[in-house]
Chain A
């Protein structure tokens, strides 16, 4: 038994204690990454704070409140509420599937009184919470038995299928990947993953038939971007041109030609990393990547210090989700994987993503603050 601050586990944490134990270094890192985003949004608007940078800054400021709140709420409330949150997020996804607003050919948004909400973003955290709670409760008797995996598999499969139907291939894949990682961390035997991969391969022809034409085109275009340079391959090609022409030190802040001349599509959202690479070069890209890795290291450290399975799985699930976002986005704009609509966390322009990521970091800090709180299988607090 480790004995890091053993006294904390012995009594209820006071609010002052909690605030003192907030991971202010992580907050600073988050603010730094977000600031890179503000700067690039300022540049994307040709040196204007509006329309993107100002709104993104206020979103960040607003999102800090739920983040801190999520960090301070007792972890046992999160544990108890995990399935309810999951159910709520799932309901919203269903609502979107039925009545959602269509943007870019996919139903992803619902309008909540002027506020655009993207429930599939919420789903990612809700899924991690639900899986963390589930695996926390699975009897600790070696690798989970197969019968214990049916419920979590369902927890993953239902939202994934619904999101895929929107259709939002990127989010569906991240949901699936995050679920798989939690399975892995929960100790599921490796041969089961092998079986899963085989099953996926067997289902591939069916999946292909379910894909929308534009998704098929994206996959085909990924395999050969020059196939149709002015059509579907245009985005990847233009992104690579902008990326590569940035060189070692970039063309200078506000001086990216490809992004400012609109050759680069969606420069304020999905392709913002390309803009960073064009204007700030390899150096800028490496700085941002390093910041992400620092955040990831921080998250791993927090998660692994937690004394509860719930806390560890939650922390690692959030870290993995975060890195999935960042890495998939980066790999996508560099032409390593097909174009999927995944934003760059904290940097891309977008309200729901910002809110979700900040909420996630709030939960992560919550795990850090409550690392010694013991969570029973049923969520009751149990001291010692």
Chain B
């Protein structure tokens, strides 16, 4: 057979062409390799690093909150949660069933977990239950050898050792809301919590700390392969507050005696808020865990307003607790002297209107001391008429009323002190004379908060413009008290007038005709002074008055009057001031003396017994005038009193 046929030549030629074509393809491949690996290397290297390097934030542990003596009020607690890594189980459904028999998982829970498992990578742990109890932990730990893929993980949760006791001043933490997000990636961490109220919110930035970072290498499924670099964050700074946890606990327990009470206890010379109670309260842990809609609705719709810190945001007509302020305004402008006598027939007529005294039949002739002690309304109608609303308002502002005090936690309200300008601006009608009269007994437009009442007392007993504060920037109180107590400006009110009022307030509690005589502290070492008040919730009609209808328990709770009391102790060297408002506390006699005064008395007594200053004495503030001798015994105030 011939070797070099035409066919062979053609094949050889075409084979050579084919080989050349293959070399050309190879050259194209080399060119492409060069383009990817040399020309565009930088771009692909960058993309490759972006692919695999993941910067993760490490949430810093939140700063703790301590009370004035170093007792932890807000701490971080390890909580334990049980997780299942689906890829490590042989049968996820069976594992969940086994786990469910230990800690009780409903069929719904198991279905939800199985569904969740299908939606994510099998190496991502499924959180079966957060916040395990010790009992559940123990059960799982024992069973873990047989439960492949089940693990117990540790996390940090905000923990309030005293639960609901201090939830109002401390506040709580929660997930940042949409408005809180400001581009700080720390806020977007799923476990990160920020302060939502109280000290937690006020000092949030200090408590937060700064985030650390962890550079991790991840694979295409997001599984972390290893850590490349770690930069630890800065734990949040601790915060010390002036609260005394023991007093806070005591005050809350005492307040729980009535449905809805708020109480503020201050260390008068320093302005430290020792206790800020608002009862009922709520469990701040509810918010760290996440609140169900039903639980939220229950809290939000409760008429006793557990979510509101009534001690700083509850506004009430001060009633007769306003009378010392009115008295000081009158004395300052000379509308009144300690010797001025006013006759109380049980009412005061202004034009066609009758202004009633709480005491049917009247008090007879009184001077200032007795008028405060017995809380005569007619005396203060007349005093207010002589003083004028503008002078009363000026004095009220000096004592901290009418505007927020500037407390260092959010949520404080300022109350209201009416003036002629305010009324015109607000209602467009001029001020009425009668409105001055009822302002004189703390009714009408006047609104104050319990904290303002306590601050008024603190200013009264120190003669200085005390501003209350919750946080102590100077930290824990050293033994024997602060070396340099804060220096508040003088109040610019005559010390003689103040002494006069204080003396009358001591008489309110310690003399038989005083409106709070029954609530006096019997141990004279701890005796207190104070002023009762009743603020009217329901307007009294002439019909009611004639038929003496408003007797105690017949009135629905929410129509009953509020009972107020503001006091200071020890009576002759006042150090502590406290105010309490019992919402709708008018049932047991219709006046602050009956329900609010005993609360303040107990709180002040407890505060004195726990007084660290008694262990190492502090320089006492200017002492008021010595007590006047108790006058003759008199029957207790009438049940139908209107303004105690």
Contacts and interface: CB of A to CB of B under 8 A. Distances in A.
A243 interface: yes
Interface residues of A, number: 52
A157 B34 CA distance: 38
A248 B217 contact: no
B26 A289 contact: yes
Nearest to B32: A334
B633 to A, nearest CB: 90
Given A304-B12, A316-B15, A261 B225 contact: yes
A245 interface: yes
A247 B45 contact: yes
Contacts of A187: 7, 10-11, 14
A258 interface: yes
B29 A185 contact: no
Contacts of A300: 15, 19
Given A243-B36, A286-B33, A331-B32, A1 B3 contact: yes
B25 A327 contact: yes
A337 to B, nearest CB: 11
Interface in B196-231: 217-221, 225
Given A244-B41, A320-B18, A334-B29, A262 B36 contact: no
B106 interface: no
A248 B18 contact: no
A286 B30 contact: yes
B26 A327 contact: yes
Nearest to B40: A244
A42 B34 CA distance: 26
A296 B7 CA distance: 23
Contacts of A327: 22, 25-26, 29
A285 B37 contact: yes
A261 B217 contact: yes
Nearest to B50: A241
B153 to A, nearest CB: 25
A282 B45 contact: no
A300 B22 CA distance: 11
B18 A184 contact: yes
A140 B219 CA distance: 61
A261 B52 CA distance: 8
Contacts of A312: 8, 11, 15
A313 B19 CA distance: 14
A144 to B, nearest CB: 9
Interface residues of B, number: 43
- Taking each of B3, B40, B47, which has the highest tally of chain A beta carbons within 10 Å of its own beta carbon? B47
Interface in B33-57: 33-34, 36-38, 40-41, 43-45, 47-48, 51-52
A348 B145 CA distance: 41
B48 A241 contact: yes
A309 interface: yes
B176 to A, nearest CB: 29
Contact of A243 (B18, B37, B221): B37
A334 B36 contact: yes
A344 B5 CA distance: 37
Interface string B345-389: 000000000000000000000000000000000000000000000
B51 A241 contact: yes
B394 interface: no
A92 B570 CA distance: 106
B302 interface: no
B30 A289 contact: yes
A142 B45 contact: no
Given A1-B3, A258-B52, A316-B18, A244 B37 contact: yes
A374 B41 CA distance: 54
A75 to B, nearest CB: 15
Nearest to B51: A263
A336 B33 CA distance: 11
Contacts of A286: 30, 33
| Overall SS of chain B's interface | helix
Given A300-B19, A307-B3, A262 B37 contact: no
B29 A330 contact: yes
Contacts of A2: 3
A366 B11 CA distance: 20
A217 interface: no
- Taking each of A187, A286, A374, which has the highest tally of chain B beta carbons within 10 Å of its own beta carbon? A187
A293 B6 CA distance: 28
A286 B225 CA distance: 31
A275 interface: no
A263 B52 contact: yes
B1 interface: yes
B48 A245 contact: yes
B124 interface: no
- Taking each of B7, B14, B25, which has the highest tally of chain A beta carbons within 10 Å of its own beta carbon? B7
B107 to A, nearest CB: 35
B339 interface: no
Contacts of B43: 244
Interface in A336-355: 336
Given A142-B6, A257-B52, A277 B37 contact: yes
Given A184-B14, A296-B22, A246 B6 contact: no
B18 A241 contact: no
A277 B218 contact: no
A1 B8 CA distance: 12
A323 B33 contact: no
A282 B52 contact: no
B21 to A, nearest CB: 10
Contacts of B30: 286, 289
A334 B271 CA distance: 75
Nearest to B41: A247
A298 B355 CA distance: 123
B23 interface: yes
A293 B4 CA distance: 27
Contacts of A232: none
A166 to B, nearest CB: 27
A242 interface: yes
A244 B45 CA distance: 7
Contacts of B36: 240, 243-244, 277, 334
Nearest to A256: B48
A286 B32 CA distance: 11
Contacts of A304: 12, 15
Contact of A289 (B29, B44, B47): B29
Contacts of A258: 48, 51-52
A243 B22 contact: no
Contact of B220 (A142, A181, A184, A263): A263
A126 interface: no
Contact of B38 (A241, A247, A262): A247
Given A241-B51, A316-B15, A293 B26 contact: yes
- Per CB-CB distance, the 4 closest pairs between chain A and chain B, nearest first, are A244-B44, A245-B48, A261-B219, A262-B220
Interface of B: 1-8, 10-12, 14-15, 18-19, 22-23, 25-26, 28-30, 32-34, 36-38, 40-41, 43-45, 47-48, 51-52, 217-221, 225
Interface of A: 1-2, 140, 142-143, 181, 184-187, 238, 240-248, 257-258, 260-263, 277, 281-282, 285-286, 289, 292-293, 296-297, 300, 303-304, 307, 309, 312-313, 316, 320, 323, 327, 330-331, 334, 336, 374
9 contacts: A184-B14, A187-B10, A245-B45, A247-B41, A282-B34, A307-B3, A320-B22, A334-B33, A334-B36
Given A263-B220, A277-B36, A312-B8, 4 more contacts: A247-B38, A261-B52, A309-B7, A331-B29
